[in-house]
Amino acid sequence: MEVFVQQIINGITLGSIYGLIAIGYTMVFGIIGMVNFAHGDVFMVSAFIALVTFLILTLWLGVSSVFLALLIVLVAAMALTSLVSWTIERVAYRPLRGSFRLAPLISAIGMSILLMNFVQVTQGPRNKAVPPLVRGEITVIPSDTYAVTVSYKQMIIWAVTAVLLLVFWYLVAKTPLGRAQRACEQDQKMAGLLGVDVDRTISSTFVIGAALAAVAGTLYLMYYGVVSFADGFVPGVKAFTAAVLGGIGSIPGAVIGGLMIGFIESMWSAYFSIDYKDVAAFSILAIVLIFLPSGILGRPEVEKV
């Protein structure tokens, strides 16, 4: 029982990170119908931005407060990663928006390779580690054999994810930008005729998705304490799987899919072989899509005529 509870805690933590990344996938697909395969590498770049910023603050500027350092790192990662994503949208995606459907996909894969190789050249191929940023834990179920604990890092991840999801829900549901995004999702041409700046709305969507990915990258670095240039691929694919599992285009579905992937991985690692946890996650995706082709909360695509 203790192992089961501990893996639930670990699954929520991992699923929160996947869910933050998955929102970026589902937002872009919901508005322009394109899968941004460079989003996973944007997440990886944000983790390196957080790493470099943290080292500058602690080693060069002598910032001793961990809370202040993490806050500055989070803001810097969100700002710089949003700038990177905005540039990618302007350079690689916007010129191809009216082209045939495969062109943006090929461009996205090219940007993914570009980002991964840029980080490899500038930061090196080896893993980059940082000292533990947050220490300590709380014992939930004491036991002489297997005590169930919740670390402060996990509680920070839960709290930050919950706050961001509330802010993001308010942004989409209650603000003019959110109304513009929903209008573009339904019909870009009609939204443009009604005065919506479609280009600015799409750019803002990329920026918001990148900001959430930056939060995920910072939390990932804080949780694991290590990052490499190849860390954009596997978390990115799993986050995309979470978006498809929850229903691509559905923001609540992306969060639910992320939590499901996190639970599947943590439970499989505890009770079966850790070597096949990725296989288990993708197998569950295949099974769900057989019975729910649109995902858990996805809506069937209606052809516009």
Domain-embedded: residue 176? yes
Structural domain boundaries, residue 66: 19-229
Number of domains in the chain: 1
The 3-state secondary structure of 32-63, one letter per residue: HCCCCCCHHHHHHHHHHHHHHHHHHHHHHCCC
Q: Whole-angstrom Cα distance, residue 239 to residue 260? A: 11
Domain-embedded: residue 188? yes
Q: Two tokens at 54?
A: 């943290």
Backbone angles phi, psi at 142, to 5 degrees: -70, 145
Q: How confident is the model at residue 301 (pLDDT cuts 50, 70, 90)?
A: low
Domain-embedded: residue 285? no
Backbone angles phi, psi at 232, to 5 degrees: -85, -25
CA geometry: angle 161, 286, 283, nearest 5 deg: 80
Domain-embedded: residue 292? no
pLDDT tens, 84-114? 999 999 988 888 877 777 888 889 899 999 9
pLDDT tens, 99-158? 777 888 889 899 999 999 999 999 888 898 888 888 888 988 887 778 889 999 999 999
Domain-embedded: residue 198? yes
Domain-embedded: residue 218? yes
Q: Whole-angstrom Cα distance, residue 27 to residue 43? A: 15
Domain-embedded: residue 170? yes
Give the residue with greater pLDDT, 303 vs 300.
300
Q: Two tokens at 297?
A: 């909360």
Q: Whole-angstrom Cα distance, residue 228 to residue 119? A: 9
Q: Two tokens at 100?
A: 């045939």
Domain-embedded: residue 26? yes
Give the closest residue to 259 by CA, choosing from 2, 1, 21: 21
Residues 6+ apart with CB under 8 A from 10: 154, 262, 266
Q: What's the whole-number average pLDDT of the chain?
A: 87
Q: Does the predicted model carry a pTM greater than 0.75?
A: yes
